[in-house]
Chain A
Amino acid sequence: MPEIHHDTTEKVSFGFWVYLMTDLIMFAVLFAAFAVLRGNTFGGPSGAQLFSLPFALTETLILLTSSFTCGLAMVFAHRNDKNKVTALFTITSLLGTAFLAMEFTEFHRLILEGNGPQRSAFLSSFFTLVGTHGLHIAVGLLWIIVLIVKIWKTNLTSANIRRLTCLSLFWHFLDLVWIFIFTIVYLMGTI
């Protein structure tokens, strides 16, 4: 039934694109909220006082690298090279974990300094925007682990390649969103 499978793949990838667009709109709303509230520090610190650009840049580079390894993994997925696929996705997930750890450190530091999300509307919107992205990354990590196990058990079947394709789209999408976060929140916030 090659025809059927082709059909499913087309529907799933189109459907996943539509889903990503809805997710993009959700992020757009969060960005809009941040843009509206960024100046509302209510006497508290502003972005320029809180953020460290080198730190955010490191996060960006880590995430970009993970996107690269993820893309490479997909190349090998189409060549049916199971070992390389799992290895590269493992690296991707490690990089993702490192990114999350850095984000966690930053949040932790801010909260300890008394600049948690309750401090001002600006900080509410900052934590929510960046935190939502972080939550997506966490979901992505879980997804990578689940799929690695699945591939070990059932090989690179067409159904599994379809799943990996969605996963990689998701991961690249998060990378793209992060670029915007880096630019709008950190770069424009500190300059």
Chain B
Amino acid sequence: MSIFFGNLSLSALPHEWFTIGGTVSMILMGLGVAAFLTYTKRWKWLWTEWLTACDPKKIGIMYILVASVMLFRGALDAAMIWLQQSLSVGASHGYLDAGHFQQIFTAHGDIMVFFVTMGFLFGLINLIVPLQIGARDLAFPFLNSLGFWLYLAGAILINLFFVFGGEFAATGWLSLPPLSELAYSPGVGVDYWVWSLQVSGIGTLIGGINFIVTILKMRAPGMTLLKMPMFTWTSLISMILVVCVFPILTVTITLLWLDRYFGMHFFTSSFGGNPMMYVNLIWMWGHPEVYILILPAFGIYSEVVATFSQKKLFGYVSMVIAALLVAGLAVLVWLHHFFTMGAGADVNAFFGITTMFIAIPTGVQIYNWLSTMYRGKITFSQPMHWFLGYVATFTFGGMAGVLMASPAADYQLHNSLFLVAHFHTMVIGGALFGIFAGITYWFPKVTGFKLNERLGKLAFWFWIVGFFVSFVPLYILGFMGATRRLDHYDASLGWQPLFITAGVGLVIISFGVALQVWQIVMSFISRKQNLDITGDPWNGRTLEWSTPSPPPAYNFAIIPTVTDRDAFWEMKQRINTDTETDKHGYTDIHMPKNTGMGIYLAGFVFIFGFAMVWHIVWLAIVSLIGCVVCIIIRSLDDEVEYTLPAAEVEKMEKLKTGYL
């Protein structure tokens, strides 16, 4: 170990086909973007308009872009897993050795959970929640920017092993000890895992605090809690879960790090350490995390169903109560992930029953949505397609979940492919489809033009067919006794056809993804024909549709006064009484200034993480000092806002109406 480079040496540089491939493709991507920016002279524009922005609408778009890139990475991992599982039978051992195979499924799980689903959700919440509550901004715009940059720093850290080190954690997505302890995982893989998740997790925590304060303190006058749109409600509940459980993740990862770096014994198998404590702690975070992902999707479905049925959401209050119950139960069920630990019949029965209870509020929600559609004027638009796909998959996956909630059954199904199929049904059919519904629904609001319907629906059909072709074989394989994470199995088991079918499903899904990309490209090219001129393309119900598309930086020139639950819908019914402007006139607007501090700070955190992975002590100290200095400078800054004078606002608003 050298003083200057820590454990980093030349042998850490890429020398295997997949690290070289990863490095080269990352370099090419970087060069491509750089060339484009230089050619179009957009570096300065990028910095002033985007990277330093504190506007949640811009930060939301950046979240979604990063999450999309990570979705490709995660899907590529899935393809590699399935290729191996289709090939590696009997005498053949496929194209991967066990070590690499383990790294790939670990990376797949972590990337999909932390960087794809979380990224998309934070993106959508950033874009929509301020608009829905009639706010101009978030409570802490700078912290929002910082949260995004920490998320990106984590995303880079999880990909950095391609360039430095060549190995990721081979420990499964939750890195359970004692396997993840130094004794069994001496390489840098687990350290990358630790720092990537730690950094992005802190970003999430900051985001959670920010949105709780925003939603509770910055709603438009008249919008009481029970007049909030459902998406805002479920985002709020999801963020409350974030602040309740992400601290647990932070501490748990820290304790693992202490074991690894300082020879402590929290989770080691000797010196009195207790590995099962880690399993308990990580699932106390891990199970609620699933609901953090799914709750905002519930909100999206509520908005979509009400809008496209042209009806008030059925059972609004019961919907809120159901979401609260789901969140409450979510923190009481973590033990169902390890019934086989041997905690005894009473403990298992308690956790089995609380788990089954969750089906009740979830069922209530499904019935509410269906009742909303009943006798509605339904438009089967793309978001509705995703919703209906969700109903089909989620009901299916939910029943599988209730089945496993019975400890007796779980002793058979634990760690089988049945479980893998179950949770993919929930995260793909529930969270990911919800995200797609949200993106297609709000796309015109954010960009100003609509997405091509035909291509979108086609993409949906590829996704849903591919999904079932992929995962039904996994349910069956699970019943046949196939455990998860298999890199090889015996030919006599007869599993290969099912694994190959699953692989075919993924090919079908890939067509769906390709169509989605194609859809965005085509819609962009022909955007002139699809402009959303009114700002209200779907005859919407909530306040975001009352703004122009895309909304001005300040969202609302005049903060609306809310009297009803579907605020904008009611406003439209009362139209032609005198408009708000005449009554109040414009006032000065205070806006957050742009700042690069989020990048600097997250940059230091990133360097710190890198230095920790490689034990480069001096660099860790220097970057830590950098962080502290940044925090001090920012926290003492008194000039973080600027004022947009009323006259200026009036001019901008006039311009817009004139343009229309």
Main secondary structure of the interface of A (DSSP, over half): helix
Tell me which residues across on chain B come within 8 A of A33, comparing CB atoms.
Answer: 255, 266, 277, 281
Complex: chain A residue closest to B641, CB-CB = A4
Tell me which residues across on chain B come within 8 A of A91, comparing CB atoms.
Answer: none
Assuming A22-B209, A37-B266, A117-B264, is B628 touching A124 (CB within 8 A)? Answer: no
Let me know if B272 and A18 touch, CB within 8 A: no
Let me know if B209 and A25 touch, CB within 8 A: no
Interface size on B, residues (CB 8 A): 40
Question: Which of A30, A36, A40 contacts B251 (CB under 8 A)?
Answer: A30
Assuming A26-B251, A29-B248, A40-B273, is B212 touching A18 (CB within 8 A)? Answer: yes
Tell me which residues across on chain A come within 8 A of B205, comparing CB atoms.
Answer: 22
Let me know if A15 and B209 touch, CB within 8 A: yes
Let me know if A25 and B247 touch, CB within 8 A: yes
Let me know if A124 and B247 touch, CB within 8 A: no
Let me know if A128 and B255 touch, CB within 8 A: yes
Tell me which residues across on chain B come within 8 A of A127, comparing CB atoms.
Answer: 264
- Contacting B at CB under 8 A, from A113-136, are 117-122, 124-125, 127-128
Determine whether B621 belongs to the interface, using a CB cutoff of 8 Å to chain A.
no
Tell me which residues across on chain B come within 8 A of A128, comparing CB atoms.
Answer: 255, 258, 264, 266
Determine whether A75 belongs to the interface, using a CB cutoff of 8 Å to chain B.
no
Determine whether B262 belongs to the interface, using a CB cutoff of 8 Å to chain A.
yes
Question: Which of A11, A42, A163 contacts B139 (CB under 8 A)?
Answer: A11
- Per-residue contact bits, chain B 224-244, to A (CB 8 Å; 1 contact, 0 not): 000000000000000000011
Let me know if B212 and A118 touch, CB within 8 A: no
Instruction: Determine, out of B46-54, B524-532, B631-639, the stretch whose residues face the partner at the interface.
Output: B631-639
Let me know if A118 and B139 touch, CB within 8 A: no
Tell me which residues across on chain A come within 8 A of B442, comparing CB atoms.
Answer: none
Let me know if A15 and B272 touch, CB within 8 A: no
Let me know if B272 and A26 touch, CB within 8 A: no
Let me know if A15 and B210 touch, CB within 8 A: yes
- Contacting B at CB under 8 A, from A62-110, are none
Let me know if B271 and A42 touch, CB within 8 A: yes
Let me know if A11 and B271 touch, CB within 8 A: no
Let me know if B140 and A11 touch, CB within 8 A: yes
Let me know if B255 and A22 touch, CB within 8 A: no
**A41–B77 alpha-carbon span in the complex (Å):** 43
Let me know if B635 and A163 touch, CB within 8 A: yes
Question: Which of A11, A26, A121, A163 contacts B266 (CB under 8 A)?
Answer: A121
Let me know if A11 and B213 touch, CB within 8 A: yes
Complex: chain A residue closest to B138, CB-CB = A11
Let me know if A124 and B213 touch, CB within 8 A: no
Complex: chain B residue closest to A118, CB-CB = B263
Main secondary structure of the interface of B (DSSP, over half): helix
Tell me which residues across on chain B come within 8 A of A122, comparing CB atoms.
Answer: 272
Complex: chain A residue closest to B266, CB-CB = A124
**A83–B119 alpha-carbon span in the complex (Å):** 48
**A14–B139 alpha-carbon span in the complex (Å):** 10
- Contacting A at CB under 8 A, from B187-208, are 205
Tell me which residues across on chain B come within 8 A of A118, comparing CB atoms.
Answer: 262-265, 271
Tell me which residues across on chain B come within 8 A of A19, comparing CB atoms.
Answer: 209
Determine whether B250 belongs to the interface, using a CB cutoff of 8 Å to chain A.
yes
**A159–B210 alpha-carbon span in the complex (Å):** 19
Tell me the minimal C-beta distance from B391 to chain A in angstroms.
Answer: 35
Determine whether A184 belongs to the interface, using a CB cutoff of 8 Å to chain B.
no
Determine whether B217 belongs to the interface, using a CB cutoff of 8 Å to chain A.
yes
Determine whether B7 belongs to the interface, using a CB cutoff of 8 Å to chain A.
no
Let me know if A146 and B636 touch, CB within 8 A: yes
Let me know if B243 and A21 touch, CB within 8 A: yes
- Per-residue contact bits, chain B 244-277, to A (CB 8 Å; 1 contact, 0 not): 1011101110010011001111101011111001
Question: Which of B139, B264, B635 contacts A15 (CB under 8 A)?
Answer: B139
Assuming A15-B213, A118-B265, A121-B271, is B258 touching A29 (CB within 8 A)? Answer: no
Tell me the minimal C-beta distance from B264 to chain A in angstroms.
Answer: 4
- Per-residue contact bits, chain B 618-648, to A (CB 8 Å; 1 contact, 0 not): 0000000000100010011010000000000
Complex: chain A residue closest to B264, CB-CB = A124
Count chain B CB atoms within 10 A of each CB in A4, A25, A42, A163 and give the residue with the most.
A25
Tell me which residues across on chain B come within 8 A of A159, comparing CB atoms.
Answer: 638
Determine whether A48 belongs to the interface, using a CB cutoff of 8 Å to chain B.
no
**A25–B180 alpha-carbon span in the complex (Å):** 24
Determine whether A142 belongs to the interface, using a CB cutoff of 8 Å to chain B.
yes
Tell me the minimal C-beta distance from A31 to chain B in angstroms.
Answer: 10
- Contacting B at CB under 8 A, from A1-28, are 1, 4, 10-11, 14-15, 18-19, 21-23, 25-26
Let me know if A18 and B243 touch, CB within 8 A: yes
Let me know if B262 and A117 touch, CB within 8 A: yes
**A139–B252 alpha-carbon span in the complex (Å):** 21
Question: Which of A21, A30, A41 contacts B272 (CB under 8 A)?
Answer: A41
Tell me the minimal C-beta distance from A185 to chain B in angstroms.
Answer: 16
Between A and B, 24 residue pairs with Cβ closer than 8 Å are A11-B139, A11-B213, A14-B216, A14-B217, A15-B213, A19-B209, A25-B243, A29-B251, A29-B252, A33-B266, A36-B274, A36-B277, A37-B266, A37-B272, A40-B271, A40-B273, A40-B274, A42-B271, A120-B272, A121-B274, A125-B266, A128-B264, A146-B636, A150-B636
On A, residues with C-beta under 8 Å from B are: 1, 4, 10-11, 14-15, 18-19, 21-23, 25-26, 29-30, 33, 36-37, 40-42, 117-122, 124-125, 127-128, 142, 146, 150, 154, 157, 159, 163
The 8 closest A-B pairs by CB, nearest first: A40-B272, A121-B272, A124-B264, A25-B247, A42-B272, A29-B251, A121-B265, A118-B263
Other CB < 8 Å A-B pairs besides A29-B252, A118-B271, 18 of them? A11-B213, A15-B140, A19-B209, A25-B243, A25-B247, A25-B248, A29-B281, A37-B272, A40-B273, A40-B274, A42-B272, A118-B263, A120-B272, A121-B265, A124-B258, A128-B255, A128-B264, A154-B638
